[in-house]
Amino acid sequence: MSQIHIRKKHSLDHARARKTAEKLAESLASEYNAKFHWKDDDLEFKSTGVNGKLHVGKHEVDIKVSLGLMLRPLKAKIESSIRSRLDEILG
């Protein structure tokens, strides 16, 4: 599996950071037909070919994504898309 790991600092309160993380998860779920759920401060998502975890910390969002064989060639595009969405929703 190919891995994507992104950390992004934020200055949001915890509740708003969680809501913002959920927006990103909804976007990923829509695009990759993924299911997601919260487990404490970790938003876990999974679908065929993509799975990962987004951790909402006090001052940082940490996202780890594993790509299956079919999506490996798109790693750079997927990573760029996730970074852009994080920049957009976290400011």
Q: Is the pLDDT of residue 80 over 90?
A: yes
Q: Is the pLDDT of residue 1 over 80?
A: no
Residue 71 DSSP code: G
**Mean pLDDT, range 63-84, rounded to an integer:** 93
pTM for the model stands at 0.85
CA distance 75 to 86: 16
Query: Where does the chain have alpha helices with state H?
Result: 14-32, 75-90
The mean pLDDT value of the chain amounts to 90
